[in-house]
Amino acid sequence: MRLAAPAKVLLQRFAFLFLILAAFGIMLLSKSETIVVEKVSTVVVDVFAPIMDVLSRPAAAANDAVKTVRGLADLRDENIRLARENERLLVWQEAARRLASQNQALQSLLDFKPSPNSQSIATRVIADSGGAFVRSIVVNAGDRDGVRKGQAAVSGAGLAGRVTTAGYRSARILLITDINSRVPVLIESSRDRAILSGDNSGMPRLTFLPANASIKAGDRVITSGHGGVFPPGLQIGQVVPSGDGIMRVKPNVSFDQLEFVRLVDFAAVSPIVPQGEPAVPPKNAASR
C-alpha cells in the first residue's frame, strides 16, 4: 500500500494510540469479563503448549544431569543417611500399622464414612512465570486428561497451588506464593486457624491469625480444609517469624525445582457428606 508521507505518519500515530488504548481495554476487560479473557488465554496457552513442552525439555534434562552429578558426589553420605532414615521409618511403619488397625476398629465403632479416595494426575511443568509479579506455572495436562479448575497441585513435599484454568491439553496453576493466592490453613500444633496469603515473595504471610494465637518458629502449617477447595491436612510449610511481627511460612515445595506436580481432585469432596449419597459426582469417574 502506497500512501503519501503525511498520511503514513498520521496512520502510525493513530495505530500507536489505538494499540495503547486497546492494551488498557484488555486490562480492564480482564478485570470485568474475567471468563471471556480467561477462555481466550486458555486457548492461546493450549496452542503454544506443545512448543513449550518441547522447549522446556532441554532445560529439564540439563537440570536432571546436574542433579545426577551432584548425587554421585555424595553417594556415600546419602547412603548412610538413607540407611538411618530407613531404620527410623521402620519404627514408624510399625506405629502406623498399629494405628491403622486401631483407626479401623474405631471407625467401625463410630460407623464413620471415610472420604473417598481422590484420583490424581501426574503432570510436567512446561512453563513457569517469567514475570516479576506473577507466580504461576503451566502444566502439560488439561481437560482431556481430567484436569479441572480448583484441583490441588501437590508435589512430594506438599501443596504447591491450585488449578485456575484448564485448557484442552494444558492448565495453569496459581502457586501459593502468588499475590492472588489465599489458602485457609491450620497451625498443626496449636490448631490456630489462619489464611495463608501470597504476596509474590518466596514466603507467603499468615493473615487473620487470632489475637491470642500461640505460634512459634518451626510450627508446621497444614491446609485446614475450610472452603472445600483443599482437603484438610495437606503439608504446606513451616512458620518463620519475620522482623516486622508478621508471621510467614516457608513452603516445603521448592518452586525453583518444580518439574512434576500431581493434580488431585478434592473440590468434589464436600467437607460434610450427607449419608447415603456418593461423595464424588459421577463425572469424576471419567478422569484418569
Partner 1 sequence: MTPTLSHRLDAVARNVVPAALGVFFVLISSIPFYIPGFGPVAPNFVLMAVFFWAVHRIDLFTSVTVFFIGLLLDILVGAPPGINAAVLVLVRAIAASQGKVFRGKSFLVLWWGFGLVALASGLVIWILTAIYHLTLINPLPIIFQMTMTIAAFPFLAWIFARTHQKLFQHV
Cα(234)–Cα(217) distance, integer angstroms: 19
- Amino acid letter, 125: V
Please identify, using beta-carbon distances, which residue of 70 and 191 lies nearer to partner 1. Answer: 70
CB atoms within 10 A of CB 238: 17
Only one of the segments 59-67, 140-148, 220-228, 241-249 lies at the binding site for partner 1 (rule: CB under 8 A); that segment is: 59-67
Instruction: Tell me: does residue 33 bind partner 1 (CB under 8 A).
Output: no
**Using CA atoms, how far apart are residues 251 and 183, in angstroms rounded to an integer?**
13
Supply the minimum distance, in Å, between the C-beta of residue 174 and partner 1: 8
Strand partners, 193: 186
Q: What would the x/- binding string for partner 1 be over residues 75 to 114, using CB under 8 A?
A: ----------------------------------------
Give bridge partners of residue 239 from the DSSP assignment.
249
Is residue 37 part of the contact set for partner 1 (CB under 8 A)?
A: yes
23 binds partner 1 (CB under 8 A): yes
Q: Name which position in 55, 82, 89, 90 contacts partner 1 (CB under 8 A).
A: 55
State in angstroms the smallest separation of the CB of 254 from partner 1.
Answer: 8
Whether the CB-CB separation of 42 and 149 falls below 8 Å is answered with no
Widest pairwise Cα distance in the chain:
89
How far apart are the C-alpha atoms of 241 and 150, rounded to whole Å?
Answer: 30
> Which one among 108, 111, 133, 245 touches partner 1, defined by CB under 8 A?
133
Of 137 and 194, which CB lies nearer to partner 1 in the complex structure?
A: 137
**CB burial class (10 A; 0-12, 13-18, 19+) of residue 179?**
middle
Residues whose CB is less than 8 angstroms from the CB of residue 227 and which lie 6 or more positions away in sequence, other chains included: 184
Which residues form the interface with partner 1 (CB under 8 A)? 12, 15-16, 19-20, 22-27, 30-31, 37, 40-41, 44-45, 48, 51-52, 55-56, 59-60, 62-63, 125-138, 172, 179-180, 199-201, 254-259
